[in-house]
Structure 1
Amino acid sequence: TFSTRSSYGKAQRSYRLKSDRYLSRGNCIIREQNRVIGEIVLPNLASKDKHEFSIGEDANIIYKENVTLISNQTSSDKRRSSSIYEIHIQIKNFKENSINIQYEQKGFYIHHSYKLMKSTKHQFIQDGSSIKSNMTLKANMDEVYSYTVEIIN
């Protein structure tokens, strides 16, 4: 959920499995770089079905999200207010391989309306009540991404 406060943490270890044949329900062991990192129970999957799941946090990918209020205006009748925020996301990849990141900021539905105004260096999109982006981060890299959003209450 969108918050005007800064946040930090570890990335969710999430996967999207698409089967090329029928898979019956059963245990699935998840490996990364020949290391066991988790286990889940897969449901029955038909050919071409997709199954998305998460198995906790990844300590090798951390993020820090800073939210800065740029401007705040209230209408003369005090019925509407408009706030512009700049969001900076710093992501650090401590892994020895590149990673794909799916960023999603949810929770804009609680406001009357919102609008993605601009993004720098990277493509962000407005999708329903979320801001989304797909990124690739090289091994042992640290990147900062940013976008600006206007929220109207």
Structure 2
Amino acid sequence: MTNPDFYEFSEPKYLYSIINKKKPIESISWSPQYDLNILSDDCRHTFQSFAEITNGTKQEYKINRTELFGGDVCLQKENGTKRRRNRSRSRSRSLSDTSDDDDDEDEFNSIDIIPTIGVLGELAGLYLYSIDQPFLLLPNSSFVLPFINATIQISKCVSLTLPFSSHTQIRKLQRKYCIESIDKFLLTASITIRATGHLAGVTTLPNMDVSDKHTFSYGQDPDVTLNRQVKLISKERHSAMYAVHLTFKNVKSIPVKFEYREIIDNSNTQSKIIIKGSDEQRAQIQVIENGIQIENKNSTDNHHSMLAANGGEQIYEYEINLNHSKKSNSYRKRRREE
């Protein structure tokens, strides 16, 4: 019987202990995977997690028990240098193909249940998981197990962030989901998103502690548009004033939440923004340090503004005065000398 130690790197590799000497086995790997299925417009969903263990070798591994460490593990190479990556470590006991232990062989021959992965808790800043039932890794195959039973909360909206431009633009808004972990630490992993069973996209979740939130985009929404009209009011040598008219439109059969940010490059420019329109419109535009953002301050649901269904529109207006920094004589002199 041999006693291997398994380690998972960013590109997972396992270390196999033979006569107390660790050697990397690059063809064996494991990784968590998530599957999110959005069932309705109000974000009812199912969330499943899996651990996939892949044996890319020609050898069969019979595992009695495995412990998986999730988190940031620092390992030292044989030449003394250190590598610090987001990785997991696993410690296992296994049988070799040539084992003569009849009792252990009988244990594997009688396997009739799917092993489960338990959460053992936190240890020195790492998260510890265990597989306590025996399982078999066949040569050149993958072994998939249910992973942690985690609860998440989902919210969705359409969103757009643009740099300020003096030109008129027509844009589609981006679809976004926000995921919040409610009760479990989630290891970084690939997540497949489905809408009522149909594939909507694949992205990567970072490491998420309880109450952490992660927002990701998954493409344009063709039914929600922004028509951004810009008119030059006045212009001087080092300044200009523009009137900006924003029209958001939703042609879906359901209302949607939306958010918008417009960013001004303040590195060489000073800006002053004057909000126009009705009291309700002005209440939803917030002047921030480097531009504007649109949010519904009266909403209790993530501060998103709403677009009504079947052609619903929201209109916002503001004026912006841009003053460009004047170059000093010393700056011009340095430029000529260069």
TM over 0.5: yes
In the superposition, relative to structure 1, how do residues 64 and 29 fare at CA in structure 2: closer, same or farther (>3 Å)?
same
Q: Which amino acid aligns with 2:253?
A: E
AA at the equivalent of 1:88: H
TM-score (norm 2): 0.40
- SS of structure 1 residue aligned to 2:266: helix
Contact 1:111 1:151 in 2 (8 A): no
1:87 Cα deviation after fit = 0.8
After TM superposition, list the pairs within 5 Å mapping 1:1-40 onto structure 2.
1-21=163-183, 22-32=185-195, 35-40=198-203
Matched, 1:132 2:293: yes
Mapping for residues 3-152 of structure 1, pairs under 5 Å: 3-21=165-183, 22-32=185-195, 35-74=198-237, 81-121=238-278, 122=281, 123-134=284-295, 135-140=305-310, 141-152=312-323
RCO comparison, higher one (Cα < 8 Å, 6+): 1
Distance 1:72 1:100 in 2: 36
Tell me the C-alpha RMSD between the 2 structures.
2.0
Letter aligned with residue 129 of structure 1 = N
| Matched positions, count | 147
Task: Point out where structure 2 has 5 or more consecutive residues left out of the alignment.
Answer: 1-162, 296-304, 325-338
CA distance in 2 between counterparts of 1:145 and 1:33 reads 34
SS in structure 1 at match of 2:234: strand
- TM-score of the two chains, using structure 1 as the length reference: 0.83
**Amino acid of the structure 2 residue aligned with 1:125:** Q
Report SS of the residue matched to 2:211: coil
Counterparts of 2:276 and 2:210 in 1: how far apart (Å)?
A: 38
Distance 1:61 1:35 in 2: 21
| Structure holding more strand per residue | 1
**1:16-50 superposed Cα distances (whole Å, 9 cap, x missing partner):** 22221222333333345665422212122110111
* Distance (whole Å) between structure 2 residues aligned to residue 143 and residue 91 of structure 1: 5
Tell me what 2:121 maps to.
none
Output one character per residue of 1:88-136: Cα deviation in whole Å (capped at 9) or x when no partner: 1111112222211111111332442101112323131221112111221
Q: Distance in 1 between matches of 2:277 and 2:306?
A: 16
Percent of matched pairs sharing the same residue: 27
Structure having the higher helix fraction is 2
Distance in 2, matches of 1:98 and 1:54, equals 19
Q: How many angstroms apart in 2 are the aligned matches of 1:33 and 1:70?
A: 49
Letter in 1 for 2:214: H
Deviates more, 1:95-104 or 1:117-126: 117-126
Write the letter of the residue equivalent to 1:126.
V
Greater Rg over alpha carbons, structure: 2
- In structure 1, the gaps of 5 or more residues are 75-80
